[in-house]
Amino acid sequence: MKKPNIVILGAGYGGMITATRLSKLLGHNEANITLVNKHDYHYQTTWLHEPAAGTLSPERTRMPIGSVLDLNKIKFVQDIVVEIKAADKKVVLEDGELEYDYLVVGLGSEAETFGVPGVHEYAFSKWTVNGAREVKEHIEYMFAKYNNTAEKKDELLTFVVAGAGFTGIEFIGELSDRVPELCEHYDIPREKVKLYVIEAAPTALPGFDPELVEYAMNLLESRGVEFKINCPIKEVTETGVSLANGDEIKAETVVWATGVRGSSIIEKSGFEAMRGRIKVEPDLRAPGYEDVFVIGDCALLINEEINRPYPPTAQIAMQMAEVCAHNIKALIKNDPLKTFKPDIKGTVASLGGKEAIGVVGTRKLFGSSANFMKKMIDNRYLFLLGGPGLVLKKGKSPF
């Protein structure tokens, strides 16, 4: 019998865990497993606010795919996915085509702009290794330029973060922690630097524990961050941002973090989607497609208790990957499929330095205990992916 071809698109949290699990669940003779990714490395998206602000080397957030996956069991193809032709069971790549019997779509997300003009032209919105490097270099250039130009001085040192969700808060946490060092390095008085976080909703971190939100805001304000809450951004321009209340903030740096939508490949390929995400069946297959699984940020899953989608997180992407791998094996072996049910363990967000906030189970954490927990979560992922060796090589000290 012909060995089935399993093709996994995207080497993020979902794709990497699916690939490792499948390579353990299925023997060499049972299936061909192919992983396709844009780069020859895997990166931890959840760490990217750190290299973006310059508090961690980008090298720490990525690893060669071949260093963690067994490429004797998994064929790796470095290429860009252009389109999925589900009716023909084919994936079109920039440099060729792949045929599949089972497909896993784990292509992650793209910035959500909600139609705000100017985001792609004038804001930094790419939460990738290359995107993080660009933001960091730009920030440092602004500081370097300040003492060398007589014009536009204030805008050079004005940094706007759009969105006070977890990404915006974690990024400003890192940047506000680094600003004193940047000021010293570039001979700039601290009071010249303006840090804004602009949020459309009536609170920062909407939906999160109010006491922890207050803790985070107080801490960030003590580092000089100014919040503008209940204040949607209407447009990003060459000179800064325009707000719905008519105000304008002139800034040379706008970092966009107003949420995500699924990969544009999904809509381009004709799948029915909401904001680029496919509302998956309980077994994680795309409705109407027996052989297409969708995981991570490309998948939309409704939390029945509140009738709203679960937020797209690495935590869920990894759990989906486990069930997806199990279900592909079950299809191959004619076994029953599992239903996916997320097991949300909590949420912990870093605030720069040794500060963080979080809820784990029913426990609220802040300060150094939350920071400890955050580092443990980061290390746990490395452990799940590559065992203790990877934690030793790439892990973070929890202290």
Catalytic residues: 170
Residue 258 Cβ, how far from ligand FAD at the closest point, in Å? 12
Q: Taking CB within 5 to 8 Å according to partner kind, which of ligand NAD, ligand FAD, none is near residue 165?
A: ligand NAD
Among 47, 159, 166, 227, which residue interacts with ligand NAD (rule: CB under 6 A)? 166
Give the tokens for residue 16: 């990497």
Minimum distance between the CB of residue 16 and ligand NAD, rounded to whole angstroms?
Answer: 18
Binding site for ligand FAD (CB under 6 A): 10-15, 36-39, 45-46, 48-49, 80-81, 106-108, 127, 167, 170, 263, 265, 296-297, 312-315, 317
Residue 12: CB minimum distance to ligand FAD, A: 2
Least spacing, CB of residue 399 vs ligand NAD, in Å? 20
- Which stretch in 23-31, 160-168, 176-184, 381-389 sits in contact with ligand NAD by CB under 6 A? 160-168
Helix/strand/coil (H/E/C) assignment for every residue in 33-75 = EEEEECCCEEECHHHCHHHHHCCCCHHHHEEEHHHHCCCCCEE
CA distances from 77 to 23, 98, 235 (A): 16, 10, 39
Q: Which does 54 bind (CB under 5 to 8 A by kind): ligand NAD, ligand FAD, none?
A: none
| Tokens matching residue 338 | 């599992």
Question: For residue 198, what are its two tokens?
Answer: 């602009």
Q: Which does 200 bind (CB under 5 to 8 A by kind): ligand FAD, ligand NAD, none?
A: ligand NAD
Query: Chain centroid to CA 227: how far?
Result: 23
CB-based contact 151:270 (threshold 8 Å) = no
Nearest to ligand FAD of 265, 331 (CB atom): 265
CA dist 253 and 190 (Å) reads: 17
Of all residues in the shown chain, the one whose CB is closest to ligand NAD is: 165
CB of 131 to ligand NAD, least distance (A): 13
| Main-chain phi, psi angles of 8, to 5 degrees | -110, 125
Q: Is the dihedral of CA 268, 269, 271, 277 positive or negative?
A: negative
The smaller minimum CB distance to ligand FAD, of residues 68 and 314, is found at: 314
DSSP, collapsed to helix, strand or coil, labels residue 360 as: strand
Query: Segment near ligand NAD (CB under 6 A), from 100-108, 135-143, 156-164, 360-368?
Result: 156-164
List the interface residues with ligand NAD, window 192-231 (CB under 6 A): 198-201, 206
CA distance 284 to 385: 21
Q: Which of residues 238-297 bind ligand NAD (CB under 6 A)?
A: 257-260
**Does residue 162 touch ligand NAD according to CB under 6 A?**
yes
**Packing angle, helices 166-186 and 210-222, rounded to 10:** 10
Residue 58 interacts, among ligand NAD, ligand FAD, none and using kind-specific CB cut-offs from 5 to 8 Å, with: none
Q: How would you classify residue 272: left for phi > 0, otherwise alpha for psi between -120 and 50, otherwise beta?
A: beta
Which listed option, ligand FAD, ligand NAD, none, makes contact with residue 232 (CB within 5 to 8 Å by class)? Answer: ligand NAD
- Partner from ligand FAD, ligand NAD, none contacting 13, C-beta within 5 to 8 A by type: ligand FAD
Beta strand ranges found along 199-283 (DSSP E): 225-228, 233-237, 240-243, 248-250, 253-256, 260-262, 278-279
The partner in contact with residue 208, picked from ligand FAD, ligand NAD, none with C-beta cut-offs of 5 to 8 angstroms by kind, is none
Look-up: residue for tokens 């443990």? 376
Between residues 242 and 269, which has the closer beta carbon with respect to ligand FAD? 269
Indicate whether 346 belongs to the interface with ligand NAD (CB under 6 A): no
Residue 167 binds to ligand NAD (criterion: CB under 6 A): yes
Q: How far apart are CB 113 and ligand FAD at their closest, in Å?
A: 15
Distance CA 72, CA 192 (A): 55
Q: How far apart are CA 105 and CA 295, in angstroms?
A: 6
Q: How far is the CB of 46 from ligand FAD (least distance, A)?
A: 3
> 241: burial class by Cβ within 10 Å (0-12, 13-18, 19+)?
buried
Question: Which partner in ligand NAD, ligand FAD, none is near 69 (CB below 5 to 8 A by kind)?
Answer: none
- Minimum gap (Å) between residue 146 Cβ and ligand FAD: 27
**DSSP code of residue 200:** S
> By the criterion CB under 6 A, which residues form the site for ligand NAD?
114, 116, 162-168, 170, 198-201, 206, 232-233, 257-260, 311-313, 347-349
